């Protein structure tokens, strides 16, 4: 009892300090945001440890700073760019369905509901809906407007006779367009849902998949370059203190494992980009109703490698692209095997 009474002042002081921190920094009051912030700090510290140990122990690298300044400058520039891309990707929106619905309703209201007069109100020539969203118009609360425009817009992308109830999210109560899925971690429906990245603390979807790919590419390059520097250090300084070599070997082993994982991840997502697929569609293909009857070697949303790469890299993040389901004729054309004439005419690219 005496020990508990002696610890009580420290506990009260700790509670007061925690309350002040939560009041000064509102992000610390939310457990999810607090864990996400802690993960970001851990990622930065992990990068600093791997690079900092190298600069502390490798004397040849210190000499290189004076003799070959450009070499170290490029390496440090890649290091900073990788961390900047990490925060840029983790803070970006994956493209939520509710934001696209709000943008469609605002666009319809602005133009006097002209979109209701056509079969596909805001669709382009290739059957894709493009909604331009200005950041100043997006609020955090749902607009209290009629969702008839959005419902009609989405249902036109499904086969005739489809029921609205089958494509309405039971959590968000919004009609999901094709390729959208509800994320239980973010508690929102995401356009072209790929996966929820724990390391970034956000979903990967239509709005940030390109940024995610570039982050993996930069992280892979940084990891590979750091591995090379570690190997060069061990080759030239193997006769020095054993504890330095032990530290470098342990770090090199963990770094090599991370490099293998990053290379596989980069190749996997490059394949997804060229075929216009998502991780969720590839893994859960048989569970998605509109993909069950399609053969595995057929990519229903692919428009050719070149156009897939263009749409992935060159479409701005402020534009929501809703893809309609392909027709039976389009699926039949895509399921045909390639011939020599198709290869010469670059059918796979167009």
What tokens does 61 get? Answer: 């690298």
CA distances from 1 to 6, 9, 13, 176 (A): 9, 14, 19, 59
The active-site residue, picked from 197, 217, 227, 349, is: 197
197 noted as active-site residue: yes
The closest of 228, 214, 223 to 50, measured between CA atoms, is 223
Alpha carbons 301 and 308: distance in angstroms, whole number? 9
CA distances from 177 to 25, 152, 234, 282 (A): 37, 11, 54, 18
Alpha carbons 303 and 306: distance in angstroms, whole number? 8
CA distances from 335 to 296, 299, 305, 328, 331 (A): 10, 8, 16, 10, 6
Coil, strand or helix at 129: strand
How many angstroms from the chain centroid is the CA of residue 41? Answer: 19
User: Position of tokens 């609205």?
Assistant: 164
The closest of 205, 218, 206, 181 to 87, measured between CA atoms, is 218
Alpha helices in 129-241 (DSSP H): 148-155, 209-236
Q: Which residues are catalytic?
A: 197
């Amino acid at each position: 009892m005496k020990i508990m009474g002696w610890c009580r002042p420290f506990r009260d002081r700790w509670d007061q300090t925690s309350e002040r921190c939560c009041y000064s920094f509102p992000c610390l009051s939310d457990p999810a945001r607090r864990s996400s912030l802690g993960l970001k700090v851990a990622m930065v510290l992990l990068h600093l440890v791997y690079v900092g140990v190298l600069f502390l122990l490798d004397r040849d690298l210190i000499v290189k700073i004076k003799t070959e300044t450009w070499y170290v400058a490029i390496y440090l520039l890649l290091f900073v760019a990788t961390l900047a891309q990490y925060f840029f990707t983790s803070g970006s929106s994956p493209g939520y369905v509710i934001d696209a619905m709000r943008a469609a309703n605002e666009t319809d209201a602005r133009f006097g509901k002209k979109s209701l007069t056509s079969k596909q109100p805001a669709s382009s020539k290739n059957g894709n809906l493009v909604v331009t969203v200005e950041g100043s118009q997006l609020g955090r609360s749902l607009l209290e407007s009629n969702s008839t425009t959005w419902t009609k817009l989405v249902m036109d992308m499904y086969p005739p006779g489809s029921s609205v109830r089958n494509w309405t999210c039971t959590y968000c109560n919004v009609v999901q367009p094709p390729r959208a899925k509800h994320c239980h971690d973010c508690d929102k429906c995401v356009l072209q849902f790929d996966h929820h990245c724990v390391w970034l603390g956000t979903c990967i979807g239509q709005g940030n998949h390109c940024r995610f790919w570039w982050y993996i590419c930069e992280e892979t390059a940084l990891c590979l370059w750091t591995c090379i520097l570690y190997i060069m250090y061990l080759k030239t300084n193997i006769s020095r203190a054993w504890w330095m070599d032990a530290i470098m070997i342990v770090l090199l082993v963990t770094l090599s494992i991370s490099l293998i994982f990053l290379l596989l991840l980069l190749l996997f997502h490059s394949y997804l980009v060229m075929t216009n697929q998502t991780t969720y569609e590839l893994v859960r293909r048989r569970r998605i109703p509109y993909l069950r009857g399609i053969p595995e070697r057929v990519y229903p949303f692919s428009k050719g490698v070149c156009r897939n790469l263009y749409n992935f890299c060159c479409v701005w993040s402020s534009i929501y692209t809703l893809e309609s389901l392909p027709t039976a004729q389009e699926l039949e054309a895509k399921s045909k095997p390639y011939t020599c004439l198709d290869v010469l005419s670059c059918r796979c690219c167009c």
